A and B are shown apart, each in its own frame.
Chain A
Amino acid sequence: MTAPIVQASALARFYTVKGGLLSKPATVKALSGVDFDLQPGKTLAIVGESGCGKSTLARVVTMIEEPTSGSLTIDGVDITPSKWAQMRETVQIVFQDPYGSLNPRQRIGQILQEPLIINRPDMSAADREARAREMIDLVGLRPEHYDRYPHMFSGGQRQRIAIARALMLNPKVLVLDEPVSALDVSIQSQILNLLVELQERLNLAYLFISHDLSVVKHFADDVIVMYLGRAVEKAPKEMLFAAPRHPYSKALLSTTPRADPEAKKDRIKLEGELPSPMNIPKGCAFAQRCWLATEECRTAPPDLSGDTHQVACLHPLD
């Protein structure tokens, strides 16, 4: 087993929300203690519903936000804000919305060259252009697209441009923050195939953030299921999809739409609402909605345990 390219331990990110005149400032625990290792050439998927801290995790790993606590090691370097600038070339991100992620006033060529202009100031203009054109070809766009503006492209093409821009600096890790959820299903598979192909060719590690389980099933190597800022289950894809052990994962998997209308539907409907991240329950965050919860569950949050298939539950399913 090779050394992991990204290592996170107990990574947490809290936001302080100012209260009103009379209320106390509150802390939003967007991400509270997540550990993972990401191997080169592998894909780690983070799944969970809205507000579970997936995107916060992406922003912390991409060095857009500083973690409140915990440690993050990328390519053997312990990350602190003073190291951000030098590590920019290693981690790049592709955003969810292809319409907001490209500067509408720049041509595609300029968009692609910008990372090089910033990070490799001594590179000649001709070299930069050659590299940008090569990248356009690599992501499956045509050479004449080089001089166009983003508004002339469809969503899928824009996402290809965003991927090309992220790859301009030869990163080792690509954070994909729901890269296909804004696209048509037919385009989704094209982009996913492109990503798989690029991973094989460039030995990229992907941190794939998604709420779409069918995409994750197709794409990931390992999966972390998150709930309210915590990892509740971590397992290789096959094991998780075959036999989820955390009740929340089971409920989540049961909601995946199936193509077979005849198949037996056994969706688990969860009762109640997602607790507010400002006021996370003391014990297991899921205990209020769990059909297996006991008194014990409400006292202390369980930690992830197990070897390859880890689960944070006192009453795991078998």
Chain B
Amino acid sequence: MAELSAIPPKTEDRPSALREFWYYFSENRGAVMGLWVFAAFVFCAAFAPLLAPYDPTEQFREHILQPPAWQEGGSWAFPLGTDPLGRDMLSRLIMGSRYSFFVGIVVVCVAVTGGVIIGLLSGFAPKWIDTMIMRVMDIILSFPSLLLALVLVAILGPSLTNAMIAIAIVFQPHYVRLTRASVLSERQKDYVTSARVAGASKARLMFKTVLPNCLAPIIVQAALSFSTAILDAAALGFLGMGAQPPTPEWGTMLAEAREFILRAWWVVTFPGLAILVTVLAINLMGDGLRDALDPKLKRS
């Protein structure tokens, strides 16, 4: 008996939030694959200078438009070939992942921060302010997003920074709407009322009581718009309104190599593939996130 009482009483361990999240996330195999590809992408971006065989702007004049290694005329010195100025494609792609990652992070952070704050305010504000904010957001939403971003860049002047600002502004209304919708449904709940009865101030109600309970759909949206941001930045780059040459940004690389599309397929195909794979991976991952975080899709 003495031995038995020495054993600590077994507490029935309910799965922790993280483990539960992983359980639902890992059920979606596409999402797990997306996560791995995304991890590789992050790794590339983090260690780009170590991974890239050459400086991405170094020109090898005697190797202009050299095909990839497995094709006739290619060499393993330049595994993915070289571009019209003799720069190594692989190095440029690896360095380009840095820009794409940077664009994704900055755009999502700016859009989420601004959108969540405006959405919270709009959910708690008197009706006329709420209506005003929502109409402004509707106006922004009514423009085709790329077109509006183009106009903004045209006003601000073409550069990667301005492209990021423009894309962030274009993305903002999605977060505002999403946050406001969850705020409106959450603030009806009794726990918010009980915080009010305890005397919580408006700011405390907004940021401490309600906001943490609205985050799940925002996280999903952030993950999905990470890829859209990369895509839009590439599109702006392609149109000459984003990163400027010689920056090895994927969209800009595509634009620069457009005229060689028939002669040297690799100069256009590889940046395009890089964009495709990254965006696809992030979208798959975002879908998995939604499955795992949305309480409505959860089976108990």
Contacts and interface: CB of A to CB of B under 8 A. Distances in A.
B198 A118 contact: yes
B204 interface: yes
Contacts of B196: 64
B198 A169 contact: yes
A64 B201 CA distance: 13
Nearest to B194: A101
A245 interface: no
Interface stretch (B52-60, B78-86, B185-193, B273-281): B185-193
B130 to A, nearest CB: 16
Contacts of B190: 95-97, 100-101
Interface of B is mostly: helix
A73 to B, nearest CB: 19
A282 interface: no
B194 A88 contact: no
Contacts of B198: 88, 92, 114-115, 118-119, 165, 169
B299 to A, nearest CB: 15
A63 to B, nearest CB: 7
Nearest to B204: A118
Contacts of B194: 93, 95, 101, 162, 165-166
B209 A103 contact: yes
Contacts of B213: 103-105
Interface string A76-111: 000000000100100111011100111111000000
B10 interface: no
Contacts of A149: 17
B200 A63 contact: no
B217 to A, nearest CB: 15
Contacts of A259: none
B200 A114 contact: yes
B197 A105 contact: no
A22 interface: no
A99 B189 CA distance: 10
Contacts of A93: 193-194, 197
B199 A88 contact: yes
A119 B191 contact: no
Interface in A220-262: none
B195 interface: yes
B191 A88 contact: no
Given A95-B190, A101-B190, A105-B213, A119 B197 contact: no
A185 interface: no
Interface string B193-229: 1111111110010000100110000000000000000
A119 to B, nearest CB: 5
A126 interface: no
* Chain B CB within 10 A, most for which of A92, A95, A119, A166: A95
Contact of B199 (A101, A104, A115, A165): A115
B191 A100 contact: yes
* Chain B CB within 10 A, most for which of A64, A114, A151: A114
A63 B14 contact: no
B17 to A, nearest CB: 8
A21 interface: no
A63 B198 CA distance: 11
B205 to A, nearest CB: 10
B212 A105 contact: yes
* Chain A CB within 10 A, most for which of B11, B198, B200: B198
B197 A101 contact: no
Given A105-B212, A118-B204, A144-B11, A100 B197 contact: no
A152 interface: yes
A43 interface: no
B10 to A, nearest CB: 12
A64 B193 contact: yes
29 contacts: A62-B197, A63-B197, A88-B198, A92-B197, A93-B193, A93-B194, A93-B197, A95-B190, A97-B190, A100-B189, A100-B190, A101-B189, A101-B191, A103-B191, A103-B209, A103-B213, A104-B191, A104-B213, A105-B212, A105-B213, A114-B198, A118-B198, A118-B200, A119-B198, A149-B17, A151-B14, A152-B14, A165-B194, A169-B198
Interface of A: 62-64, 85, 88, 91-93, 95-97, 100-105, 114-115, 118-119, 144, 149, 151-152, 162, 165-166, 169
Closest 4 CB pairs of A and B: A101-B190, A115-B198, A88-B199, A105-B212
Interface of B: 11, 14, 17, 189-191, 193-201, 204, 209, 212-213
Given A95-B193, A118-B204, 13 more contacts: A64-B197, A85-B199, A91-B197, A100-B190, A101-B189, A102-B191, A103-B191, A103-B195, A114-B195, A144-B11, A149-B17, A152-B14, A165-B194
